Amino acid sequence: MSFQNAFLGSLVADAVSMPVHWYYNVRALDHDYGEISGYQAPKNPHPDSILWRSEYKPVGSNADILHGQKKFWGRRNIHYHQHLQAGENTLNLQLAAELYRHIILAGDFKVEDWLQRYVQVMLTPGWHNDTYAEEYHRSFFSHYSAGKSLLSCGTSDHHIGALSMIPALLAGLEAVGQTENAYQMECVLSLVRTTHDHPASLRAATDLTRILIHLSNGSEIRESLSDLSLPGVSLKKLRKWEQLEDRTVVGDKISSACYLPDSFLASLYFVWKYHDDFSQAVISNAKVGGDNCHRGVVIGSIVASQTGIPSSLLRGLKTMEKLRCDVQLLSKPQLLKRSN
């Protein structure tokens, strides 16, 4: 299947996990959201929220990326995504959708052009309605407001959020006819370096891209993971872990937190176990909590590449309403056909 499926799978998985994002107390997760079966709206209070001790003090208008959300920082139990609706994407995946549209409008990917668009939308009040902006955004705009060039504003970050725009980038390149694999990889690494210039982030970005390219050429998930021999990924462990409960594996044996490389391995655990069932893969990932939204990008993109996505999940995905208009922007709209 095409990268379009991978991109849509990343959006769906993020939106499913959004209400239970960064829950580390899984009993509280179960109490607050019950048996997860699809999209839900977030609720306050969020018992594991760290917004009360998170800080961002923008200096000048070129650093104000929180806009009206700043007043919620410093308070306890505020949900990171409190104003989002059921089926809506978090900030990073809203940016992924913007990147996809940007590539289609431009006809190609140029990293500096994208960074200009990134700055433009992030500094526009009301463009997003998300309460939390990750540290890499805050670092980027602190550097930008201090006068650094766009290509020098990033930081050495090894959170799995580094991977959040890769499926969108690949889908955008595919949609405009840029299908050479070496060029796709070059674009991926240039994108990730601008915000997450860390060896672990670049390693995971390379591995995710290799997997998605392998799948786009007709391979299946387990075959791909076997063929690619990814560094630090033991198939023996994945086979052993698939016999265990999800929360025993992700939470006990592997951290459910955001840090690479563990978060990438945790993602591949779900990919391996639920390789033939997209809904089960993304829902099971959501249920273990932690940084399930960004793990979901990996899981949703890989599994959707093999299985497609149930139409019910596409219908409930708010971002679909924004993506449909893109067909009118192309001379060859057939490039945007998507499987249900």
Mean pLDDT (the chain, rounded)? 94
For residues 179 and 106, is the Cβ–Cβ distance under 8 A? no
pLDDT, position 324: 58
Whether pLDDT at 336 is above 80: no
Collect all residues with Cβ–Cβ distance below 8 Å to 105 and sequence separation of at least 6: 329
Structural domains in the chain (count): 1
Tens digits of residue pLDDT in 268-308: 999 999 999 999 999 999 999 999 999 999 999 999 999 99
Domain assignment present for 277: yes
- Write out the residue range of the structural domain in which residue 11 sits: 3-327
Distance CA 299, CA 267 (A): 6
Per-residue burial over 152-189, b = 16 or more CB atoms within 10 Å of its CB, e = otherwise = ebbeebbbbbbbbbbbbbbbbbbbbebeeeeebbebbb
Task: Report if residue 278 sits inside a domain.
Answer: yes
pLDDT band for position 328 (cuts 50, 70, 90): very low
The answer to whether residue 338 sits within a structural domain is: no
Question: pLDDT per residue over 255-268, tens digit each?
Answer: 999 999 999 999 99
The answer to whether residue 334 is domain-embedded is no
Residue 254, domain member (yes or no): yes
pLDDT of residue 7 exceeding 90, the answer is yes
Calpha distance 77→256 (Å, rounded): 20
Q: What pLDDT does 340 receive?
A: 31
pLDDT in tens, 199-218: 999 999 999 999 999 999 99
Asked whether residue 271 is domain-assigned, the answer is yes
What distance in Å separates the CA atoms of residue 131 and residue 82, rounded to the nearest whole number?
7
The CATH number of the domain holding residue 66 is 1.10.4080.10
> Could you give the percent of the chain with pLDDT greater than 70?
95
Q: Is residue 333 part of a domain?
A: no
Any domain includes 336: no
Can you tell me the mean pLDDT for 324-331?
40
